[in-house]
Structure 1
Amino acid sequence: MITNLCFHGVGVCAREREDGEARYWVRESHFLRLLDEIALHPEVRLSFDDGNISDAAAALPALQDRGLTATFFALAGRLDDPASLRPADLRLLRSAGMPIGSHGWSHIPWRGVSDEVAARELVEARSALSEASAGPVDEAALPLGRYDRALVHRLKRCDYAAVYTSDRFPARAGSWFQARYSVTADDTRESIRARLARRPGLEDARGLLKSALKRVR
């Protein structure tokens, strides 16, 4: 089993785009301490959602200093936004050995959308990010973590190699569906250490059951 940890922003959230977004930003000094702990655990995989410019400005050099890699799930609809990753930033991340994934076009939940919206979010966004980053985009992360059976089928038809959720339980390394823990401003080096040291238990079993039910409803 592995543990997927997901960050969203490094620094201070200057303007919330969705209610509660600031809770998922981690101050840079705190982020560095968390990475120091994570670097001690080879079973951890890292990712970054939302495509904030802090991914390239703050996260990338910190990862490189510690010999860590992460997948960056960017938003195609924000490629011309100065607060977000632009094509040059995506190419910089890729040149540093960081995979680029799709977080869609406009950061809306993908569950229950029309065929037209699904085409933009799942297909067109992927193509735009691939072109912008000058390389393949093989994985997707679900915006806001919501999914059901219909969305899972859509994603499989798009032939993504892996799909990442916001479900909070450990994952199997080779699984197509990858659960993640989102790191928040409240996390500490001690809480991350405890999370990584904890053995799977009843809470994880409940999470697996809830995930299974969402995929068949």
Structure 2
Amino acid sequence: MITFAVHGIGRPQRALDPGEDERWLTVEQFDDLLDVVATSGARLTFDDGNVSDVEIALPRLVERNLRAEFFPLAGRVGERGYVNSADLRRLVDAGMHVGSHGWDRHDWRHLDRAFTVRRELDAAPRLLAELSGKPVRRYSLPPGPYDRRVVRHLRAAGATKVYAGGRSRPGSWLHSRVEVRSDLNARWAAGAVTRAAFRCWR
């Protein structure tokens, strides 16, 4: 089943990084996406830990009895426009999963120092686990691509589920996603679900 990757929703409460606006949805677009998810069984993930995760997405998910996975950047928790520790507890208390998107936006294929590797793959999930009150063993790779070295580090870190670029295999711990962008509409989302189901059927 297809998994959609969401970033920010609504009016940003911070200055966006270059290119981030291309992955930012209006509230109306997000509602359209939720309608497709609710009727198709598609899954949702949220990257970066924007405060819109709890202010906009969470109440709408609860209202529709939907579950999702949230992957904050541990190094930005508590900063303006991002979730804080209380927000992480709210997500967990509502039945959502909290995973790790690393400490900051780095391509993990280019982590060249042991300190950086430990911070992204060990310190980040440890902090998120302390703040959320739940073990963190799921990861979302920023910006998505990976190589054998990344996989080796993830296995050593005890990862049980990893979202990355490329296509996933049935039963694999590596899962692919479809990133939603600012030009999202309900017709496109429904078509993405249909295409994913067709590939699975084949």
TM-score of the superposed pair, with normalisation by structure 2 = 0.93
Alpha-carbon offset, residue 75 of structure 1: 1.1
Aligned residue pair count: 197
Alpha-carbon offset, residue 16 of structure 1: 1.7
Is 1:59 matched with 2:48? no
User: What is the one-letter code of the residue matched to 2:22?
Assistant: R
Q: Is the 8 A contact 1:166 1:182 kept in 2?
A: no
Q: Is the 8 A contact 1:141 1:163 kept in 2?
A: yes
Query: Partner residue of 2:101?
Result: 103
- Provide the rounded CA distance (Å) in 1 between the counterparts of 2:172 and 2:11: 34
Match 1:187 to one of 184, 187, 192: 184
Query: Partner residue of 2:21?
Result: 22
- Provide the rounded CA distance (Å) in 2 between the counterparts of 1:107 and 1:80: 16
Q: Is the 8 A contact 1:76 1:106 kept in 2?
A: yes
CA spacing shift, 1:171–1:185, aligned 2, 3 Å: farther
Query: Partner residue of 1:117?
Result: 116
Alpha-carbon offset, residue 170 of structure 1: 6.3
User: What is the one-letter code of the residue matched to 1:35?
Assistant: L
SS in 1 for 2:3: strand
Query: Partner residue of 1:138?
Result: 137
Alpha-carbon offset, residue 146 of structure 1: 2.4
Q: Is the 8 A contact 1:112 1:151 kept in 2?
A: no
Q: Is the 8 A contact 1:123 1:158 kept in 2?
A: yes
Alpha-carbon offset, residue 171 of structure 1: 5.5
- Provide the rounded CA distance (Å) in 2 between the counterparts of 1:196 and 1:171: 17
Q: Is the 8 A contact 2:140 2:164 kept in 1?
A: yes
TM-score of the superposed pair, with normalisation by structure 1 = 0.86
CA spacing shift, 1:40–1:171, aligned 2, 3 Å: farther
Is 1:77 matched with 2:75? yes
Q: Is the 8 A contact 1:46 1:70 kept in 2?
A: yes
Deviations 1:153-182 (A, max 9, x none): 111111100110133x4653x320001100
Q: Which stretch shows the higher mean deviation, 113-122 or 4-13?
A: 4-13
Deviations 1:19-61 (A, max 9, x none): 211111100122111111111012x111000100000000001
Question: Structure 1 vs Structure 2: percent identity of aligned residues?
Answer: 38
Which ranges in structure 1 are unaligned for 5 or more consecutive residues?
A: 202-217
Query: Partner residue of 1:89?
Result: 87
Q: Is the 8 A contact 1:110 1:151 kept in 2?
A: yes
SS in 1 for 2:143: helix
